[in-house]
Amino acid sequence: MHSVSANGANIPALGFGTFRMPEEDVHRILPEALRIGFRHVDTAQIYKNEAAVGDVLHSSGIPRADIFLTTKVWVDRVGHDAFITSVDESLAKLKTDYVNLLLLHWPQSEMPLTDRIGALNELRRAGKVRNIGISNFSTALMAEAIRLSDAPIVTNQIEYHPYLDQTKVIGEARKTGMSITAYYLMADSKVPHDPALRDIGARHGKTAAQVALRWAVQQKDVIALSKTATESRLRENFDIFDFALGDGEMAEIHKLARPDGRIVNPGHLAPEWD
């Protein structure tokens, strides 16, 4: 597996995501993901599974230095002390004294962005966080976060799949040395059944899901999060580095984007999208 270099961070290009994954599923499936070779694990305070992730990583036998661990601060951590305390609580649950990457989960919060970015920087200086980033930020808010931060912003984690054109956000991130981390790559299970993606997959002896994951990581500065609670799909999701899509195939997939392709759009959290 290759890594994406972004403003000093080296991030494994394929991550294992735990969104909507109950603790019992984390305990069951994450050990298998690590056994197969996943070394990038993504969680968040709001997922309510940080403790299970910490249990698995702690008992895995894999050196902490070999794991790239990401978590995210939820929007209701308002005020400097509450923000810092929430991260200390996350570290305790994760059974580690640092995370590799800490993100602001959504741009909307009662705590001003300047204060939240300041708290991220403070945590980085304290060694509790190796790298800082953002999630679900528009290009305008990306620029604002960069302006407010002393430390480099290393990623913007956003919804990205073949049906949603994120060219503008990816382009702006690239200009500043940032990466993009793609979530929802299966587009609520639309991808595995897509005829065009299945046809491309057939040319390579791969599934439509593998094609979408490969399409993401084959783009410069893009990291893909995969997620499954099904053990048989773990290997499928991981085996995307033994083939390459042609330029024509990449273009074919990009053409699947449509104006109504966005799936994740909570009005009380989302910015004005690009």
DSSP E strands in the chain: the ranges are: 3-6, 9-12, 14-17, 40-42, 68-73, 101-104, 132-135, 153-159, 179-183, 222-226
Q: Which residues of the chain have pLDDT under 70?
A: none
pLDDT in tens, 205-225: 999 999 999 999 999 999 999
Task: Fill in the amino acid letter for 150.
Answer: D
Q: Which of 171, 237, 190 is nearest to 210 (CA)?
A: 237
Query: What pLDDT, on a 0 to 100 scale, did the predictor assign at position 193?
Result: 97
CB atoms within 10 A of CB 82: 13
Q: Map out the domains of the chain as residue ranges.
A: 3-187+216-243
Query: What pLDDT, on a 0 to 100 scale, did the predictor assign at position 1?
Result: 77
Q: Which of 78, 131, 75, 141 is nearest to 100 (CA)?
A: 131
In whole angstroms, give the CA distance from residue 102 to residue 100: 7
Query: What pLDDT, on a 0 to 100 scale, did the predictor assign at position 131?
Result: 98
Hey, what CATH topology would domain 3-187+216-243 get?
TIM Barrel (3.20.20)
Q: Is 47 a catalytic residue?
A: yes
Does 2 belong to an annotated binding site? Answer: no
DSSP E strands in 3-146: the ranges are: 3-6, 9-12, 14-17, 40-42, 68-73, 101-104, 132-135
Query: What pLDDT, on a 0 to 100 scale, did the predictor assign at position 71?
Result: 98
pTM passes above 0.95: yes
Query: What pLDDT, on a 0 to 100 scale, did the predictor assign at position 256?
Result: 98
